[in-house]
Amino acid sequence: MAVRAVRGAIQVDADTRDDILEGTAELVKAVLDRNGLASDDIISIVFTATPDLTAEFPAYAARLLGLTDVPLMCASEIAVPGAMPRTLRLLAHVETARPRADLRHVYLRGAAALRTDLPQ
């Protein structure tokens, strides 16, 4: 098994606890589903949120999904002028037999505009 990194992002509608939890859960599930991964395959996940999202920790949504024994960390994205607002990102480190070229990075909702080069 190789250690690989999978990226993803989602734009949420508002800085509310529910929007952050729902958006994060949607993103985590999509990353796992599109890559044929199970929770046991996850080594760790780093979540970031744009500075305008402060109502909840994205990692809490992963805990609610059952990722209770996975190391999780949250951080704030740097406030780059003109950057996409209300965006949650993740970097998941996973164990997988898939080659790097077969991994599917996931960009949902408005965040799809960040990586138009990737298949959705």
* Residue 73 φ/ψ, nearest 5 degrees: -145, 145
Indicate if 63 belongs to the active site.
yes
Q: Catalytic pick from 7, 34, 98, 104?
A: 7
Say which DSSP state 49 is in.
Answer: E
Nearest residue to 18 (alpha-carbon basis) of 56, 48, 65:
56
- Decide if 74 is catalytic: yes
Which listed residue (34, 77, 98, 104) is catalytic?
Answer: 77
**Catalytic: 89?**
yes
Distance in angstroms (rounded) separating the CA atoms of residues 57 and 41: 22
User: Could you say which of 17, 63, 95, 100 is catalytic?
Assistant: 63
Q: Is residue 4 among the annotated active site residues? A: no
Q: Is 95 a catalytic residue?
A: no
Residues assigned a catalytic role = 7, 63, 74, 77, 89, 107, 115
